[in-house]
Chains A and B, each alone.
Chain A
């Protein structure tokens, strides 16, 4: 990219580190865990998720509210980073939180699993909680949210993106 990549809402998602984290997340969940399935692969997705998830939330808000100020973007990013870090800690340490996570994510996955099962002619798939290993050592991945914070903060430093061009258009007409 020759142009600055942070001039569109949610541009932080296009940061090479964010893209690499997303690619690693997909690769790890759908290939590496199946092939190796060890403590390392158990943490790779946590690290990647903690980088990607706050940026996803921030990008969603920026797309929904293109005129959001730089401060507003940082607040959203900070809130998302804190939320996902707290969520990670909770589901790794607290059984009720882990159960809630298993149930909610299972519910989120069910429509797709049910559709695939129906299309392939198999029996109906029940709504089931997902598998989650409560491994406190996974909390070693928590600092990864700082990477998200760094990427997102740098991106938001350039302020609102979509409003400015419109303003300049009006001023020139």
Chain B
């Protein structure tokens, strides 16, 4: 027999559990649009912008994230990056890094005249088709097309091949690059719940800059479980990180 007092406590227990369940019912976001590095890039060097991206995954599945900053767009907005680093901190239940430290894959800029002449040869190659197919890989983030855009072409292909002949070389260092792109940043989810990747992007900017600016970046997550790729965010389209660069 359950006493009245026990039932009364049972109600309270269910009430607390229900309240906690209702609060925890929606998972953290798959990505964060806001500048999540406490809202601003602080003065001094390095100025750190933290971008948090979380993604649920099945156990033993792999989360791969690529991160991309359009340097051209950034320059147009008046931000000059002297150097940049990305540090990844996997978080969450049973998430283990696979490919860390990171590989910074970039494409150096070309003189506009040269780029204008050989724009097709400079197109990125995803190793899956002809050069014409690769046209969609051009990313400049400025919404237009001009000779300088060739400098922001990048290659998402995993390796070199005959079709890569025309593309620009990649460099491990991001310094002086047209764009910044890091991939693959992968982690293995070994837990049963949500796995969270936390990307900490460190940007080093000239101290003379003293204005607000936007950073144009794109984050993309590919989830291996379920055989589907999931694009996280439409960053080139609608998401800008507002980062104050006040001195």
User: Which residues of A are in contact with B by a Cβ distance under 8 Å?
Assistant: 1-3, 5, 7-11, 13-14, 18-19, 22, 25-26, 29-31, 33-35, 37, 45, 49, 52-53, 55-56, 59-60, 63, 101-102, 105-106, 108-109, 112-113, 117, 120, 122-126, 128-132
Query: Which B residues are CB-close (under 8 A) to A3?
Result: 1-2, 4, 7
Count class of interface residues, chain B: 35 or more
Q: Is the CB of A29 within 8 A of B25?
A: yes
Q: Is the CB of B1 within 8 A of A131?
A: no
* Chain B nearest Cβ from A113, distance in angstroms: 7
Which residues of chain B (4-62) have a CB below 8 Å from chain A? Answer: 4, 7-8, 10-12, 14-15, 17-19, 21-30, 32, 34, 36-38, 50, 52, 56-58
Q: Is the CB of A105 within 8 A of B26?
A: yes
Q: Is the CB of B26 within 8 A of A34?
A: no
Give the nearest-CB partner of B37 in chain A.
A126
Alpha-carbon distance between A26 and B19 when the two chains are bound, in angstroms: 11
Residue B192 is within 8 A (CB to CB) of chain A in the complex: yes
Residue B89 is within 8 A (CB to CB) of chain A in the complex: yes
Q: Is the CB of B7 within 8 A of A63?
A: no
Query: Which B residues are CB-close (under 8 A) to A1?
Result: 1-2, 7
A129 touching B58 in the complex, CB below 8 Å, given contacts A22-B17, A22-B21, A108-B23? no
Give the residue of A11, A18, A34, A123 whose beta carbon is less than 8 angstroms from that of B7: A11
Give the residue of A9, A30, A122, A126 whose beta carbon is less than 8 angstroms from that of B8: A9
Alpha-carbon distance between A113 and B58 when the two chains are bound, in angstroms: 21
Q: Is the CB of A131 within 8 A of B27?
A: yes
Q: Is the CB of A132 within 8 A of B21?
A: no
Q: Is the CB of A14 within 8 A of B15?
A: no
Which of A8, A53, A120 is packed against the most chain B CB atoms within 10 Å?
A8
* Chain A nearest Cβ from B115, distance in angstroms: 39
* Chain A nearest Cβ from B93, distance in angstroms: 10
A60 touching B8 in the complex, CB below 8 Å, given contacts A33-B56, A131-B28? no
Q: Is the CB of B15 within 8 A of A10?
A: yes
Q: Is the CB of A128 within 8 A of B11?
A: no
Q: Is the CB of B28 within 8 A of A30?
A: no
Alpha-carbon distance between A60 and B16 when the two chains are bound, in angstroms: 10
Alpha-carbon distance between A137 and B57 when the two chains are bound, in angstroms: 24
Q: Is the CB of B4 within 8 A of A8?
A: yes
Which of B24, B29, B52 is packed against the most chain A CB atoms within 10 Å?
B24
Residue B194 is within 8 A (CB to CB) of chain A in the complex: yes
Query: Which A residues are CB-close (under 8 A) to B102?
Result: none
Residue B166 is within 8 A (CB to CB) of chain A in the complex: no
Alpha-carbon distance between A105 and B21 when the two chains are bound, in angstroms: 12
Q: Is the CB of A9 within 8 A of B11?
A: yes
Query: Which B residues are CB-close (under 8 A) to A8?
Result: 4, 7-8, 11
Alpha-carbon distance between A11 and B2 when the two chains are bound, in angstroms: 13
Q: Is the CB of B36 within 8 A of A128?
A: yes
Alpha-carbon distance between A151 and B24 when the two chains are bound, in angstroms: 24
A34 touching B193 in the complex, CB below 8 Å, given contacts A11-B11, A117-B91, A128-B36? yes
Query: Which A residues are CB-close (under 8 A) to B30?
Result: 131
Alpha-carbon distance between A34 and B93 when the two chains are bound, in angstroms: 12
* Chain B nearest Cβ from A19, distance in angstroms: 7
